[in-house]
């Protein structure tokens, strides 16, 4: 079975958003194919919202729904990817999440963010 071809636009946007190279050694199957070839190629690149605005929406939704692994990936990307968010913007976002999606969601999101900030600071030394 032939592996689907990666959409170059999807690969480029993946790397802009998550701040890391798209893994060439992972098979492009199932949800991964849809993420690279549709989500990043077609959704993240749509007109109407800037990358920064999409980052904020994505972080809020991931925090609100408790998807910690994906939240962590997007927090890293939000700090090191193209058009990064500041630590203050991310922490303020989690205050907003707490008030609209529940205290636990905001607190968990803030905790994940602080951990990512520490990891990135340690790796830059």
How many Cα atoms within 13 Å fall on the side-chain side of residue 122? 6
Q: What is the torsional sign of CA 65, 80, 47, 93? A: positive
Q: What is Dmax (Cα atoms) for the chain?
A: 48
pTM for the model stands at 0.91
CATH number at residue 66: 1.20.1290.10
Q: Same domain for 64 and 122?
A: yes
Q: Same domain for 38 and 57?
A: no
Q: Same domain for 111 and 67?
A: yes
Tens digits of pLDDT across the chain (125 residues): 577 889 999 999 999 999 999 888 887 888 989 999 999 999 999 999 999 999 999 999 999 999 999 999 999 999 999 889 999 999 999 999 999 999 999 999 999 999 999 999 999 87
Residue 36, CA distances (Å) to 28, 32, 66, 85 in order: 8, 6, 23, 22
Domain of 21 in residue numbering reads as 1-46
Q: Same domain for 75 and 14?
A: no
């Amino acid at each position: 079975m032939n592996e689907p071809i990666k959409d170059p636009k999807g690969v480029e946007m993946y790397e802009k958003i998550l701040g890391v190279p798209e893994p060439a050694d992972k098979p492009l199957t199932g949800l991964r194919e849809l993420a690279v070839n549709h989500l990043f190629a077609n959704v993240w690149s749509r007109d109407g919202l800037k990358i920064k605005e999409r980052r904020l929406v994505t972080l809020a939704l991931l925090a609100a729904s408790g998807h910690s692994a994906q939240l962590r990936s997007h927090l890293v990307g939000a700090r090191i990817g193209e058009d990064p968010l500041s630590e203050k913007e991310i922490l303020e976002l989690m205050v907003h999440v707490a008030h609209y999606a529940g205290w636990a969601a905001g607190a968990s999101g803030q905790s994940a963010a602080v951990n990512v900030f520490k990891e990135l600071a340690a790796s830059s030394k």
